[in-house]
Amino acid sequence: MSIAFGGIMAFLFRGLNLVVALGTVLFCTNLMTRDDYGTFVFGVTIAGVVNAMGGGLTAATAYQVSNQRRDASTVLLSGGVFSVGLGTVAVIGGVLVAGVLTGEAHREAFAIGVACAAIILNSVVAGTFLGRESFVRYNLALVCPPLFSLAAIALAFLLSGSRKPDLVLEMYALGQWLAVALMLLAAHIRPRSARIDRSIIRKMAPFAALAGLASGISFLNYRSDVFVVKHFEGDSGVAVYSLAVYMAESIWQVSGSLALATYARLGTLTRGEAAELTTRVMRHTVVLLGVICVVLFAAAGLLQRELFRDYQGMDSALRIILPGVLLYGLAQSFSGFYTYQRGMPWVSSVVAGGGLCVDLALAFLLVPRMGVNGAALASAIAYGTAITLALTVFIRSEGVSPGQIFKFGRAEVQDYVTLFGRLRALVA
């Protein structure tokens, strides 16, 4: 299958997620005060850390289904038991934090804990879909939680008239659980073949821990400076910076789509073939993201004036962070190779950990001097450092050259010729 074609098909689904996220941003920024929106974003960022680490559960589940050829229903049931235990810990953590807080913060902490439990369970369901190449259901598992959360938030705004972050976070949690219920119904567990297999749980636990650590560190690599911004700039600074980060990182939906189109194949190819496929995806990533970044850089001022007038400084932070975002778009292909082909998710966590250290060190140095622009610059440098380290590891271990990663050639052109041919046939 053409990478360009597979990537475009995956992006159609991820594009829905992008539209939902943009809808949530526009809806909340227009109906909430700047400080309240910053509080909401900070809470969602905490849930985002759990969501990123839940990617380890998704990878572990998909690995058992696709690479180890285990029965999907058994893997889902076994992984579900494991995830329920982790979700219980998340809820207890929310209760404990809520116990030491008062007022709105009390409700916010509990809502975040409940939302995290739903996120953990949904990660296993999504991994089952990915492992058996049910890409439509897998992408629905990604789209439905934010979509249902947006619907719940909108309904709460309409019925209650409240715009406070505690209510918004509670509706966010409700939407997450409604999506989990729907995805469990779509999973179609076969009662006759499904059983709880402790050996699967024992194998999933360390894999999920390593892959989750990699994903969590990677997420913190481009979210840790939000905590620094909150410390120095308050909720208002978090609101401005989060918008710049959201606009910039939206382009990772493209690179993520390209990588997703190859995940199932990476586990079945030889190591050399998987490395060649990974470099091919990276070449497409550089070209597509490069074009999008140029357009976004030029349009930053327009976006500031037309969509986010009350969030001054978003445009400059967006322009500063874009070069790093472009380079770090290659990290998804790198992570996919070492997770699904080599079964070594810890490699990604080492790379992301290096970027996280650079990001935090620079953020504490630059944010007091430059505000949100300092956070953007710290992230851009951290992204560049992390992906340089990652590509160095990949080039040396797999025996590929830098040209194989960055040189766009005849094979890639043919991918787009095939893509346009298929699209033309579909239209006809």
Supply angle C-alpha 145, 151, 157, rounded to 5: 135
Separation of alpha carbons 195 and 165, rounded Å: 41
Taking CA atoms, 94 is separated from 121, 161, 219, in Å, by 16, 26, 21
Residue 54 forms part of a structural domain:
yes
Residue 73 lies in a domain: yes
**Distance of alpha carbon 133 from alpha carbon 137, whole angstroms:** 9
Question: Which tokens hold the place of 392?
Answer: 């160095």
User: How is residue 274 written in tokens?
Assistant: 């998987």
Show which of 187, 216, 245 is a domain's final residue.
Answer: 216
Helix (H) or strand (E) holding 182: helix 165-187
Cβ-contact 393, 338 below 8 angstroms:
no
By C-alpha distance, which of 328, 318, 313 is closest to 297? Answer: 318
Length of the chain: 428
Q: What is the pLDDT of residue 353?
A: 80
Cβ atoms of 373 and 360 closer than 8 Å? no
Structure tokens at 301: 């001022």
C-alpha to C-alpha distance for 355 and 330, rounded to whole angstroms: 14
Considering the domain architecture, whether residues 192 and 271 belong to the same structural domain is answered as: no
Do 194 and 76 share a structural domain? yes
Q: In this structure, are 265 and 395 located in the same domain?
A: yes
Identify whether 17 is part of a domain: no
Same domain, 153 and 248: no
- Alpha helices by DSSP H, listed for 32-163, are 34-62, 72-99, 104-131, 135-160
Specify the 3-state DSSP secondary structure of 251: coil
Residues 168 and 226 placed together within one structural domain of the fold: no
In a domain, 3, yes or no: no
Residue 227 and residue 209 share a domain:
no
Residues 304 and 165 reside in one and the same domain: no
Helical packing angle, 104-131 and 252-266, nearest 10°: 40
363 and 278 within one domain: yes
Residues 285 and 341 in one domain: yes
pTM of the model: 0.69
Residue among 231, 183, 242 nearest 44 (CA): 242
Q: Mark which of 181, 216, 251 sits at the end of a domain.
A: 216
E strand or H helix that includes residue 425: helix 410-427
Task: Specify whether 253 is located in the same domain as 399.
Answer: yes
Low-confidence stretches of the chain (pLDDT beneath 70): 1-15, 102-104, 189-194, 214, 218, 221-222, 257-265, 267-268, 340, 345, 408-428
Has residue 415 been placed in a domain? yes
Query: Rounded to whole angstroms, how far apart are CA atoms 236 and 176?
Result: 26
On whether both 191 and 226 belong to a single domain, the answer is no
Please tell me the distance from the alpha carbon of residue 122 to that of residue 51, in angstroms, as a whole number: 9
What confidence score (pLDDT) does residue 36 get? 86
pLDDT on residue 407 = 72
427 in a domain, yes or no? no
By C-alpha distance, which of 315, 323, 325, 382 is closest to 354?
382
Residue 182 domain-assigned (yes or no): yes
DSSP 312-362: TTHHHHHHHHHHHHHHHTTHHHHHHIIIIIS--THHHHHHHHHHHHHHHHH
64 secondary structure, DSSP code: I
Structural domain boundaries enclosing 154? 32-216
Q: Structural domain tally of the chain?
A: 2
- 313: in domain: yes
Instruction: Say if CB 278 and CB 337 are below 8 A apart.
Output: yes
CA distance 351 to 397: 14
Same domain assignment for residues 190 and 291:
no
Q: What is the pLDDT of residue 165?
A: 87
Residue linked to tokens 């992906």: 387
Q: Which residue has the tokens 């360009």?
A: 4
Domain boundary, last residue among 152, 184, 216 = 216
* Structure-token pair, residue 371: 């505000």
